[in-house]
């Protein structure tokens, strides 16, 4: 089935150029061009679209308002802003309803790459209800105590950049949101950023304060103490997996940027579980309870939801424009041999960390780790190293002899 895309821009010359450039993709995409946002809304009532790409500055209805309406009426639609308007207040208004931002002037290759990725992601997550769930997410929940401490720190005039970065980096949801925004074309920072402190430093304290206190990119998990404790366990698990993945990357001799990728992907490796817990808490807890009895977590998730948390997490990070290496590491964390790229990467390190690291999550529950993908390890010629690392981890876990 073709991907249906609606471009909305009051600049008819720009639309004409896009129509000419994208004509060769007509076999794969069903593309419509509109120069009026109000007409675009009327067309959306008659015909659904998979993707809406909107300009920001338009006389009848600006891009933020248009995409907010699209989000409200058609939450499963992928929403993209294409704009050269960089005034911060206007840019911040688009963060909530927008999945990705493309800055004008924009290379045609960037538009094509975004649409190609959107089409590929549909193959990753075939469940339409789950795609709609992922597309409708404004933000993900954080433990109430951490949320309160962070917002309190943000309101202090003498708030510390490092303290704020440390608070954010201790939470899966906050880490995902900050890195998502930092690496978007909103701020055009160039090379990818996978470290929260670097992200906070590059954005600046005032921008981060505006994002947290005015835009509301974070929210607290407003539910039972038991569920809040489970989210904290999930955060601890992400930090433990991320730290172990970074260690494997260092011992494998990967460059610093790839070590940061490994940590980031490890930290976000269970982000799909966070989405399940937020959207369907009773079902998610039932799956975890069955997994505690020895069931395979991915199989149980597919039975209950139609996809595993790795599938959902990879899709969500792709929707939010994360680096391909991060997406692959999350998506294929359980079975890296399925991934077409066989090089040593963040995926390698995250899989090993998931296989040899802590049981999921830390705390009360004891779910078995993922099975080591032996074929993948052999294909990379890493059997000896993996055995050595495994022995070291077992020895460390055992502690000093008495």
pLDDT per residue as tens digits for the range 34-85:
999 999 999 999 998 999 999 988 888 988 899 999 999 999 999 998 877 6
Are 250 and 344 contained in the same domain? Answer: yes
DSSP state of 23: G
Q: Where are the alpha helices (DSSP H) in 4-107?
A: 12-22, 37-46, 63-73, 88-93
Number of domains in the chain: 2
pLDDT value of residue 395: 66
Are 308 and 373 contained in the same domain? Answer: yes
- For the chain, list residues with pLDDT below 50: 401-402
Residue 329: give its domain's CATH number.
1.10.3210.10
Positive or negative: CA dihedral 333, 335, 340, 341:
positive
Domain ends where: 124, 149, 175? 124
pLDDT value of residue 401: 45
Are 331 and 269 contained in the same domain? Answer: yes
Are 155 and 108 contained in the same domain? Answer: no
Are 191 and 120 contained in the same domain? Answer: no
pLDDT value of residue 396: 66
Are 164 and 83 contained in the same domain? Answer: no
Are 308 and 364 contained in the same domain? Answer: yes
241 pairs with which residues across the strands?
none
pLDDT value of residue 254: 93
pLDDT value of residue 397: 58
Are 60 and 136 contained in the same domain? Answer: no
* Domain interval for residue 210: 129-402
Domain ends where: 64, 89, 124? 124
Phi, psi of 98 (to 5 degrees): -110, 135
Are 142 and 104 contained in the same domain? Answer: no
Domain ends where: 70, 101, 124? 124
Are 134 and 51 contained in the same domain? Answer: no
Residue 40: give its domain's CATH number.
3.40.50.2300
pLDDT value of residue 59: 86
Are 113 and 180 contained in the same domain? Answer: no
pLDDT value of residue 402: 43
């Amino acid at each position: 089935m073709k991907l249906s895309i609606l471009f909305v821009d009051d600049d008819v010359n720009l639309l004409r150029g896009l129509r000419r450039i994208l004509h060769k993709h007509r076999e794969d995409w069903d593309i419509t061009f509109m120069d009026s946002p109000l007409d675009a809304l009327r067309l959306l009532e008659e015909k659904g679209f998979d993707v809406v790409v909107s300009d920001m500055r338009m006389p009848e209805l600006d891009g933020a308002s248009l995409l907010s309406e699209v989000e409200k009426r058609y939450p499963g639609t992928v929403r993209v802003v294409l704009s050269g308007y960089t005034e911060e207040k206007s840019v911040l208004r688009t963060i909530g309803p927008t999945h990705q931002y493309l800055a004008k002037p924009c290379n045609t290759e960037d538009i094509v790459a975004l649409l190609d990725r959107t089409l590929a992601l549909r193959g990753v997550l075939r469940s339409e209800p789950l795609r709609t769930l992922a597309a409708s997410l404004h933000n993900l929940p954080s433990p109430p105590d951490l949320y309160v401490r962070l917002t309190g720190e943000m309101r202090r005039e003498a708030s510390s950049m490092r303290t704020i970065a440390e608070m954010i980096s201790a939470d899966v949801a906050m880490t995902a949101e900050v890195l998502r925004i930092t690496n978007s074309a909103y701020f055009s920072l160039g090379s990818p950023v996978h470290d929260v402190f670097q992200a906070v430093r590059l954005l600046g304290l005032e921008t981060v304060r505006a994002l947290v206190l005015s835009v509301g990119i974070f929210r607290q998990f407003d539910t039972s103490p038991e569920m809040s404790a489970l989210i904290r366990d999930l955060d601890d698990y992400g930090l433990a997996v991320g730290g172990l993945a970074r260690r494997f990357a260092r011992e494998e001799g990967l460059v610093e940027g790839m070590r940061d990728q490994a940590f980031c992907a490890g930290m976000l490796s269970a982000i799909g579980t966070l989405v399940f817990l937020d959207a369907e808490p009773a079902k998610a807890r039932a799956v975890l309870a069955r997994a505690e009895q020895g069931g395979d977590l991915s199989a149980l998730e597919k039975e209950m939801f139609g996809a595993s948390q790795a599938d959902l997490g990879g899709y969500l990070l792709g929707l939010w424009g994360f680096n391909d290496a991060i997406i692959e590491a999350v998506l294929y964390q359980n079975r890296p041999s399925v991934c077409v790229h066989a090089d040593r990467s963040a995926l390698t390190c995250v899989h090993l960390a998931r296989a040899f690291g802590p049981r999921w999550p830390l705390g009360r529950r004891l779910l078995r780790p993922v099975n080591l993908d032996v074929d993948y390890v052999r294909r990379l010629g890493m059997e000896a190293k993996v055995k050595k690392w495994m022995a070291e981890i077992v020895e460390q876990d055992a502690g000093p002899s008495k």
